[in-house]
Amino acid sequence: MPLSGAGPQVLLGPLYGHKNWEDVEKLGTPVKLIVTGNMTIDDIVLPDGRTRMGLPGGNALYASMAASLWSDGVAILTRKTPGYPPQNIQKIAGMGICTDGMAPFDRQTMRIWQIYESDGRRTSIQRNLVVGGMESYSPLPADIPQSYRRPSVQAVLLCAMRAENQYQLAADFAGRGVPVLLDPPEVEQEHERQRLLTALQYVDVFLPSLQEVEEILGHGQLHRAARQFARYGPRYVVIKLGQEGCLVYRRQDDSFVSLPCYNTRAVDATGAGDSFGGGFLAGYAATGGDVLAAACQATVTASFAVEDYSYGGLLRTGSPQATQRLQVYRQQNSGRQFGREEDSE
């Protein structure tokens, strides 16, 4: 399927300024896309030693903002601690993102070191003590508000969180016929790895990074890994490769296509993978499941995220600018199509 024949059917700008989603629904914009994950405060250490301290972060923040570049009806599902800066929540709501699913959670806000190496690798280190375990900071099906359970929901993105939380959420959404996209967490123990792999039975699109592939499977052979993951259930596997772009696998015909990253000046890679996921979610839903079109949109979305610190690149980007960059990227890669590939290792 040539890339030139793929693309979002509609590119809708966000509906600005609505903080109460019931008001938005009355205007005819129900919840369409759900992003679920965590909210954190990030302390960034760049490869040259520079630091950026106390930046708002968390995969749910980046992914929901990214999805809202392309679609209205975006909703966030997370647990909100008292210490998370209220001005950041106001910015989320100001982008037209539904915050009904930000469940109050009376714990200390997660603060994380994000340490980057010159080759793009990142190490995340929890700075403060987490009472009750990391899984307690992540949402569960009981946190899903009624407005997120309506037939208008087209797809959900499960950002990285503990495997048990992802398993329960994936089973809940899939059981109601909602397509599930999943970005895996770090798996430190064998039981977590097994729980993650079991969760894939409920997943339509699996979105691991190369580093996560290696952690989960113990090797970095991309084509072999994609096929292995697909055996657990996903119809599509999209492996994020950072500056090298991404590899898309389609289980139906055992075929692959590689896409490059969008060439831009990267300032801060924090949230790039989550922004990729948010852009993919919006594209996948808008095209009725066109994975190649979604991957193009995801790649372009990530390019905006890396152009500034924290969510600055996403916040200052409007729908016309995003649409224009997507058109350019699609033209540059119009000849790419699915085909049979094998690992060269």
Please write the tens of the pLDDT for every residue from 271-315: 789 999 999 999 999 999 999 999 999 999 998 888 887 677 787
Per-residue pLDDT, 344: 61
The CATH fold assigned to 20-37+60-105+139-332 is: UDP-N-acetylmuramoyl-L-alanine:D-glutamate ligase (3.40.1190)
Residues of the chain scoring pLDDT < 50: 1-28, 345
Q: What is the model's pLDDT at position 132?
A: 59
Q: What is the 3-state secondary structure (H, E, C) of the chain?
A: CCHHHCCCCCCCCCCCCCCCHHHHHHCCCCCCEEEECCCEEEEEECCCCCEEEEEEECHHHHHHHHHHCCCCCEEEEEEECCCCCHHHHHHHHHCCCEEEEEEECCCCCEEEEEEECCCCCEEEEECCCCCCCHHHHCCCHHHCCHHHCCCCCCEEEECCCCHHHHHHHHHHHHHCCCCEEECCCCCCCHHHHHHHHHHHHHCCEECCEHHHHHHHHCCCCHHHHHHHHHCCCCCEEEEECHHHCEEEEEHHHCEEEEECCCCCCCCCCCCHHHHHHHHHHHHHHHCCCCHHHHHHHHHHHHHHHCCCCCCHHHHCCCHHHHHHHHHHHHHHCCCCCCECCCCCC
Does the pTM surpass 0.95? The reply is no
pLDDT recorded at residue 106: 82
pLDDT of residue 195: 96
pLDDT of amino acid 5: 34
Domain positions in the chain are: 20-37+60-105+139-332
